[in-house]
Amino acid sequence: MNYKFIACAFLLLLVISILQSSVFATPMAQKTIVIYPIFTQTAYGNHAFYDYYKKLCNSTCLTVTIPKQLPKYTSSVGAVMILSGNNYNFISDIDVDKNPEILKKYDRIILLHNEYVTRKEFNAIISHPNVVYLYPNALYAEVKVDYNKNTISLVRGHGYPNLSLGNGFQWKYDNSKLEYDTACKNWIFYKIPNGSMLNCYPDLKILDDQSLLRALQE
């Protein structure tokens, strides 16, 4: 299989999607902030949380250095490319954890696949009145950050410290069971008290369905 060809074709599709979708850019984008899931990308890196889950290493893999460059895990990449191309502004998990009040500056928050977040970030997000949960499985496990060492550590969730533990925040609106629908053929946003949730995993759908982008801008 020609992986270089596949990679080039995928990048071309992203560029075309951005060019096609940019006609839908609206002022709403300037009143919205997107939270980039750097903690989740860190958790999916090498010698990190998922190696521990797979029993490839011991609990030392539950403390991981936050990378300066993005690791191989690429969830949310479709949404990042499309939203960037439509003039949406981004902050990261780190920005929210250091200054939770920052979210109050914006009329709307868009959450990506922010599966791993700190307690402060979790509280700031669920306290905001207008959050779009674009990916299922967000706010699933709690981490803590050591900014002196530039690391995150798993606190609870995703079967840790007890295998029976799912959502580390015991969050009532966890919708992780919906993340396995990657086709998104019957996508809808449904309401929860502090916003709306998409009922499928849109990493590919957002690249070729402009109506999904329009729905985000309504």
More confident residue, 74 or 17: 74
pLDDT averaged over every residue in the chain: 87
Domain range annotation of the chain: 18-216
Cα distance between residue 97 and residue 102, in whole Å: 10
Cα distance between residue 32 and residue 35, in whole Å: 10
- Write down the pLDDT at residue 77: 87
- Write down the pLDDT at residue 122: 98
The fraction of the chain above a pLDDT of 90, given in percent, is 74
- Write down the pLDDT at residue 206: 92
Q: How confident is the model at residue 75 (pLDDT cuts 50, 70, 90)?
A: confident
- Write down the pLDDT at residue 4: 40
The end-to-end CA distance of the chain, in Å, is 41
Q: How confident is the model at residue 5 (pLDDT cuts 50, 70, 90)?
A: very low
Cα distance between residue 159 and residue 53, in whole Å: 8
- Whether 2 shows a pLDDT value over 70: the answer reads no
- Write down the pLDDT at residue 78: 87
Per-residue model confidence as pLDDT tens digits over 21-52: 444 445 566 799 999 999 999 999 989 999 99
Cα distance between residue 52 and residue 173, in whole Å: 27
The fraction of the chain above a pLDDT of 70, given in percent, is 84
Q: Determine the length of the chain.
A: 218
- Write down the pLDDT at residue 19: 40
- Write down the pLDDT at residue 70: 58
Give, as one character, the DSSP assignment of residue 139. S
- Write down the pLDDT at residue 21: 43
Per-residue model confidence as pLDDT tens digits over 92-142: 999 999 999 999 999 999 999 999 999 999 999 999 999 999 999 999 999
- Write down the pLDDT at residue 3: 35
- Write down the pLDDT at residue 18: 41
